[in-house]
Amino acid sequence: MSEINFKTRLLNAINKKPVDRVPVVCPGGMMNMAVVDVMKATSCFWPEAHIDPEKMARLSLGVQLLGGIENVGVPFCMTVEAEAMGAKVYMGTRETEPRVVKYPLNTIGEWNRLPGLTENHYRVAVVLEAIIILKKSYPEIPVIGNLTGPISLATSLMEPMDFYKALRKNPGEAMEFLEFVAENIVKFGVAMTKAGADVINLADPSGTGEILGPKVFGEVAVPVINKITESIEDATGVPVMVHICGRLLPVLDQLKNIKSRVLSIDAITNLRKVKQALPEKVIMGNVSTFLLEKGTPERVRKAAIVSINQGAGILSPACGIGANTPIENIRAMADAAKIGSV
């Protein structure tokens, strides 16, 4: 098969169509793709790049050009939705991502006072404009728009432990809150596709089976995730990938009910076992984020080839890239996609 462009390769992989080789991506969002080496090379630094669409676009493109990653992706954090819905956010430093420093909710019963996400909120508008810039300038590079998952967004709007307790003690109110959260996530996702996103990635690190337990994960997290992914895909035709952190083997039965075609997994989970249990899914991952930052290029390359050989349909870091990851290690992972595929 002759070589195909980045966007066609990724979309074919998502849709289980023929590809010349495994695509290699780093979505963005929770699965951050920006590193200090590229910030220096592009003169686009955090935290300015979080609030300037031109710098956001240039920094994302810089990772693609210098690291060999086959996509661009924005934003670089998980705070856009939370800030747009009332949370106070500290924008971080050159090496640290933005984080929520004050929740807008004291109790779950206050959720109906929250503002809904709007496209003209400054953080939302920056992300949408960055997508427009990337799509217009580089149409053959897939643009991945990144969304915060429902449990993670809920726990960015109120004290996490209070929310987890509410799931058990006040499930009706908790589910109403999650429905509201999901509606706003869908709104942002649809806006991203209208701006030009080719793929959406939904990451929910606070909604794992380890944190929630298999029962609540299956009864609460999975249906809400499905509502989000199906709503976006039905409205736009754009595929939505799902990333779940942590150990997944205890919740394999629940994962079978996730409707997304692509499941992104952590390095802590054996990719081969997940692929065997979920043969209908495209598995994305799962090169260790820690290894990418601290290892040698050769060790990274070997780990990436292992992921491919275990069945990764899309090669990517397990949970993004640390800001201090050397650019040569990103290139090593990208090179593995070219030499490690059959």
Residue type present at position 273: K
Looking at residue 36, what is its pLDDT? 96
Residues 3-26 pLDDT 10s: 799 999 999 999 999 999 999 999
pLDDT at residue 321, rounded to an integer: 87
The amino acid that residue 46 corresponds to is: W
CB 215 within 8 Å of CB 187: no
109 lies in some domain? yes
In 3-state terms, the chain is what percent helix, strand and coil (to 5)? Answer: 50, 15, 35
* Total-model pTM: 0.97
Domain count, the chain: 1
Residue at 204 is within a domain: yes
Asked if residue 325 belongs to a domain, the reply is: no
pLDDT of residue 196: 99
Q: What is the per-residue pLDDT for 320?
A: 78
Query: Could you give the CA distance from residue 40 to residue 283 in angstroms, rounded to a whole number?
Result: 33
Q: Is residue 271 part of a domain?
A: no
One-letter identity of residue 323: A
pLDDT in tens, 258-280: 999 999 999 999 999 999 999 99
Residue 35 resides in a domain: yes
Question: In whole angstroms, what is the distance from residue 300 CA to residue 328 CA?
Answer: 10
Q: Is residue 46 part of a domain?
A: yes
Q: What residues form DSSP beta bridges with 241? A: 201
What is Dmax (Cα atoms) for the chain? 57
State residue 45's pLDDT score.
98
Question: Given this model, what pLDDT does residue 342 score?
Answer: 43
Evaluate whether residue 309 is within a structural domain.
no
pLDDT computed for residue 235 by the predictor: 99
Q: What is the four-CA torsion angle of 271, 275, 280, 283, rounded to 10 degrees?
A: 10
Residues 6 or more apart in contact with residue 110 via CB below 8 angstroms: none
Per-residue pLDDT tens digits for 73-86: 999 999 999 999 99
Buried-exposed string 24-38: b where 16+ CB fall within 10 A, e elsewhere: bbbbbbbbbbbbbbb
The counts of H helices and E strands in the chain are 16, 9
Residue 314 in domain: no
Report cis status (omega within 30 of 0) of the bond before 214. no
Task: Tell me the pairing of strands 99-102 and 88-90.
Answer: antiparallel
At 251 the three-state DSSP class reads helix
- Run means of pLDDT, 10 residues per run, the chain, 342 residues: 89 97 95 93 98 98 96 98 99 96 98 98 99 97 98 99 97 98 99 99 95 96 98 99 94 96 96 97 96 98 97 94 94 91 46
Q: For residue 79, give its domain range.
A: 4-254
Q: Please give the pLDDT value at position 1.
A: 66
CATH number at residue 154: 3.20.20.210
